[in-house]
Structure 1
């Protein structure tokens, strides 16, 4: 009994990131391919750097031929590589490396992390946007108004910064209603306005045009600056 336990301990252990088990499907690996890679890792840990398909298949439920085909596909797909190593005596030998697997896993982790950061940032911006609207309107938004905000972001793909700018334009113009804000956003999108600076410049030019249009020529050189009526455009 004691000798069996010692033999079991002599088999050793391997350390595998739990992320591999949760994400191998997203790497387009199936269960058999995953187990094959883990068996290669086990052989590497025990000093067998280039296990044969026969050695690997004996640990699995696939034939030697199937194992050989799977090894070839994993090499082609960039989950496994064969590298040249040299012994202390200068003898060259080949070795499996699963470094490409770890690299793919890290890349996937970083992409997912970046997506999570962007999603969190987007939700924060959206909540801040709703707060800004409720503050300016002095009341909670109605379901229709909430739906309009969501449509501006999800369907029309307006940046929250641009929507806030349109809100400020409506406040300054004394026309605080969703129809007016929607018209501003429509005009900005039609004219390719995507940044806050572009929105400010566009609004300034429109107001200047309105001044020149409405004032007599002798007064046009020193006009007061009215707000552009987006609904009348």
Structure 2
């Protein structure tokens, strides 16, 4: 048989398999056989057969019909594959859908990106603290930072806001920052907007008694309101 003809036949028969599946099938909970049977289902769908039989799949696998059926059933139960109904010329039929698989892969990919971004935020937070304190943080201070994030579940942005409040108040120490974060957690504050509103309410209440006593020190400058939303 003509070798050139065979090469053309091979090239035309290519099926695109998402690189995410090849690279991360194990990370989302698939083994090699499960990944391969899903690739085979994908191959049938691409070629126009969206509901291959167990026998069709067994002929391409090292599994018999019963094993293919069991594996497909498990994949459906675990949310990697689904069976959907379709209508064509008022005739109802069933088809395999790989949307659950693609959805898991995309969620995994976006989750990895978010995790990397969070790690970068945490790393930047340590740098900001060391810059404000003008020195490297001690092991105990590093442990406090980690506890605020891991145990108290404060976001790096909220911890940075508490640091700024300590700087503005002239009380730059971890104990004071911890008190701010404790107060915010007690009051259900989880965002910068909520922290800003809470701080404004506190300052407003602090200013009322002074106004009642009259202007005892008219030359004393007012401390500017701190902008919690300033992320710079």
Identify whether the pair has TM-score above 0.5, normalized to the shorter chain: yes
Q: Structure 2 vs 1, CA of residues 73 and 117 (structure 1 numbering), >3 Å: closer, same or farther?
A: closer
Q: Structure 2 vs 1, CA of residues 5 and 197 (structure 1 numbering), >3 Å: closer, same or farther?
A: closer
Counterpart of 1:140 in structure 2 is 136
Note the 1:37-48 alignment, pairs <5 A. Answer: 37-42=38-43
Report SS of the residue matched to 1:219.
coil
TM, length-normalised to structure 2: 0.68
Report SS of the residue matched to 1:182.
helix
2:188 counterpart of 1:189: no
Counterpart of 2:173 in structure 1 is 177
Q: Which blocks of at least 5 consecutive residues in structure 2 are unaligned?
A: 224-232
Q: Structure 2 vs 1, CA of residues 95 and 189 (structure 1 numbering), >3 Å: closer, same or farther?
A: closer
TM, length-normalised to structure 1: 0.68
Counterpart of 1:31 in structure 2 is 32
Summarize deviations over 1:189-233 as a string: whole Å, max 9, x none. Answer: 1122223343344334445555666x696438999779xxxxxxx
Summarize deviations over 1:167-210 as a string: whole Å, max 9, x none. Answer: 22222222211111111211221122223343344334445555
Pairwise CA distance, 1:94? 6.4
Q: Which blocks of at least 5 consecutive residues in structure 1 are unaligned?
A: 227-233
Counterpart contact for 1:49–1:94, Cα < 8 Å: no
Summarize deviations over 1:92-138 as a string: whole Å, max 9, x none. Answer: 796855xx22x233322321232233223323322332232222212
Note the 1:82-121 alignment, pairs <5 A. Answer: 97=96, 100-101=97-98, 103-121=99-117
What is the count of residue pairs matched by the alignment?
218
Q: Which has the larger radius of gyration?
A: 1
Counterpart contact for 1:211–1:220, Cα < 8 Å: no
Counterpart of 2:228 in structure 1 is none
Tell me how large the CA RMSD over aligned residues is: 4.1
- CA–CA distance in structure 2, aligned partners of residues 162 and 47 of structure 1: 53
